[in-house]
Chains A and B, each alone.
Chain A
Amino acid sequence: MTLMKQFLGAAATLALCAGAATAEPALIYDLGGKFDKSFNEAAFGGAERWKAETGGSYKELEMQSEAQREQALRRLAETGANPVVMTGFAFGDVLNAVAPDYPNTKFAIIDMVVDQPNVRSVVFTEEQGSYLVGVMAAMASKSGTVGFIGGMDIPLIRKFGCGYAQGVVAANPAAKVIQNMTGTTPTAWNDPVKGAELANSQASQGADVIYAAAGGTGIGVLQAAADAGILSIGVDSNQNHLQPGKVLTSMLKRVDNAVYDAFMSGADLETGINVMDLAAGGVGFAMDENNAALVSADMLAAVEAAAAKIISGEIVVHDYMSDNTCPVN
């Protein structure tokens, strides 16, 4: 009897410990890879910040195959990981099918809207941040021609390009924007060689500021622009340091904040659509010692004025994804 009691007690303690130990958040990176110096790495940065501040631990996973998307979501949910955060729209379809099976687990997906009661869909107003760097690009350009290089040709990336073009035209109505996409498949996120080729081609057409919204491909764009002696603009993470003194600024998309917030709220994660806009600090532009010399005082004043007007609602930046058209090209 006592043995039984002891055994039960031990089992109960074990169960409690197991419960406490596994109720940790989890982060799944998209197939692009964790260290892409951009989107996924920003997510990793947010998770690390949470870890440093709270002393907690989290599970993370890089996948190897498509079949592992569902496997990873189910395994993490079954072991009690809560919330489970994933980066990238490619999880949308799978999450929509998996989420109803785990009503007690909270999921957060970045860059995609999944309409399930236990899912937080984090979307960013990339058009606003792109508008701001567009203003800076137009003011920094001497030739009056600026470039945009997107990764995969999807509405989301067109949204970046459209916001950028609107900002450019707002600052210099006569400016010309050359737009190119790297490809139509996910490999376009990780093709720095093609990115460099596109940057060189745009430079030869007269572009002297090029904005890359292309994940890992952007590293090639930044490199080629620096080699050609023209300016570039980074994306997602602060990429000013990649080519110090050659990167005008970076359009910040605070994926790190989205992950950090989700981890912080833990199992009490608020579900529904979570819009990370300029006012909420979800997007912005990067200033640091690497680009201080490139940004003049009136450029900074202009971009800050534009930011204030966007927040107050005086400037409305058109969202390409709302109707799949762009007012300026």
Chain B
Amino acid sequence: MHKLPPWADVVLIPLMSVIAAFAISALVIVYIGENPWEALKIMVDGALGSAYGWGYTLYYATNFMFTGLAVSIAFRASLFNIGGEGQAMLGGLGVAVVALAVPWPHWSLALPAAMLGAVVFGAAWAAIPAWLQARRGSHIVITTMMFNFIGAAVLNYVLVNILRPKGSMDPATARFPKGAHLPTLHDLPLIGSYFDKNTPANITLFIALAACVAVWYLMFRSRLGYAIRAFGKSESAAVYAGISPFRITMYVMLISGGLSGMMAINNVMGEAERLVLNAVEGAGFIGIAVALMGRNHPFGVFLAALLFGFLYQGGAELGLWTSIPIELRTVVQALVILFTGALDNMMRMAVAWAFGLARRRAA
């Protein structure tokens, strides 16, 4: 196969994948008797056409940035962490424990403490599969996947039996204290007036953006990042160079789990302000698609997270204003994942072939 120019790899292929996914979605929408052009207009308008729409799109995108970064950094070390879902769940538990433990006077105190809680719980949940991989050779794909189920069961037990307020039927914690309320984008000076009061996007967005930069620095500008990438490319070469596979595996998975856990700052502390059972709602799995689409580069993850934020919010708008059933909204999202993730090579081969042809013509 010919080597592709970077712009084709980073921009052209994802773009073509998305267009292909939308084309098939359009066919499905036509088949059920709705107008795909109208549907697209509602999605774009609802997700990007107003301050209100942006408020939701950015909220979802913040979730996906964290889980996408978590998956991408593990990918760089050739570790496939599918456990983002469980790690984010446990991160939520960490946030809830911290937020409910103290009657916080102000969010600026609650936020660092909650972040610590989220990171510690998320990283701890990733540490066990990481140790099993590094020391015992248990495959990380299997163990992280299994830990999603164990995490769900743990959260279930804790919410139902320990954290649920007396007399409540909902398996959820009590509301967090007022002092733990994070400012939404609307509450901020300067940019506040652009955002709607009742949207969930909050200052966690800036933490996510900072995380993108930090992960970029870690990956490409630090000694540890170099070791991670070397280990990911060739374990035996890394060992020869004096890099310890055990330490790299542990470091990478702790960072990855911590990033997944940080997502809880956004959805648990920023949005719901209480911990509900299905708080993560698949964002951990979306993170895999986001990382794949973003080519495991923090900037790519940022863009892909925005795309998925758009799909989520646009999907909600479709539900509100059309009779397109919920199953089909999920199909549209699934098609994008399928094309950008699983069928990525298909597009790549077609593009590489086209480039090869063009090059031969030119020669």
Contact = CB atoms under 8 A, between A and B. Distances in A.
B186 to A, nearest CB: 14
B170 A64 contact: no
Contacts, number: 67
B36 interface: no
Contacts of A72: 316, 320
A117 B170 CA distance: 23
Contact of A92 (B170, B276, B316, B320): B170
Contacts of B137: none
Interface residues of B, number: 31
Contacts of B281: 65-67
A64 B160 contact: no
A186 interface: yes
B316 A93 contact: no
B267 interface: yes
B315 interface: yes
Given A74-B198, A89-B169, A90-B170, A62 B326 contact: yes
B160 A67 contact: no
B267 A62 contact: no
A68 interface: yes
Nearest to A101: B198
A66 B59 CA distance: 13
Interface string B170-194: 1110010000000000000000000
Interface in A177-195: 184-186
B160 A185 contact: yes
Contacts of B60: 67
B319 A62 contact: yes
B316 A68 contact: yes
Nearest to A73: B198
Interface string B76-116: 00000000000000000000000000000000000000000
B319 A61 contact: yes
Interface in A158-175: none
A67 B330 contact: no
B200 interface: yes
A19 interface: no
B267 to A, nearest CB: 7
A61 to B, nearest CB: 6
A154 B170 CA distance: 8
Interface string A256-296: 00000000000000000000000000000000000000000
Contact of B56 (A71, A89, A156): A71
Contact of A93 (B167, B171, B274): B274
Q: How large is the interface on A (under 10, 10 to 19, 20 to 34, 35 or more residues)?
A: 20 to 34
Contacts of B172: 93
A71 B169 contact: no
A64 B318 CA distance: 11
Contacts of B320: 59, 61, 72, 75-76
B205 to A, nearest CB: 15
B325 A62 contact: yes
Contact of B171 (A74, A155, A156, A185): A185
B134 interface: no
A70 B281 CA distance: 16
Given A66-B281, A67-B271, A72-B320, A156 B169 contact: yes
Contacts of A93: 170, 172, 175, 274
A214 to B, nearest CB: 15
A61 B319 CA distance: 6
Interface in A67-120: 67-68, 70-72, 74-76, 89-90, 92-93, 101
B20 interface: no
Contacts of A65: 281, 312, 316
B319 A64 contact: yes
A156 B170 CA distance: 11
B59 to A, nearest CB: 7
Contacts of B59: 67
Contacts of A75: 320
A93 B169 CA distance: 11
B297 interface: no
Contacts of B274: 93
B348 interface: no
A299 interface: no
Nearest to B172: A93
Interface string A33-72: 1000000000000000000000000010111111110111
Contact of A184 (B156, B276, B315, B316): B156
A155 B169 contact: yes
Interface string B255-291: 0000000000001000110101111010000000000
7 contacts: A33-B326, A61-B319, A62-B319, A66-B281, A75-B320, A184-B156, A186-B278
Given A62-B326, A89-B170, A186-B278, 16 more contacts: A61-B319, A62-B319, A64-B319, A66-B272, A66-B281, A67-B272, A70-B198, A71-B316, A72-B316, A74-B198, A93-B175, A93-B274, A101-B198, A155-B169, A184-B171, A185-B171
> 9 shortest A-B CB distances, which residue pairs?
A154-B169, A62-B326, A184-B160, A65-B281, A89-B169, A185-B156, A68-B316, A74-B198, A61-B319
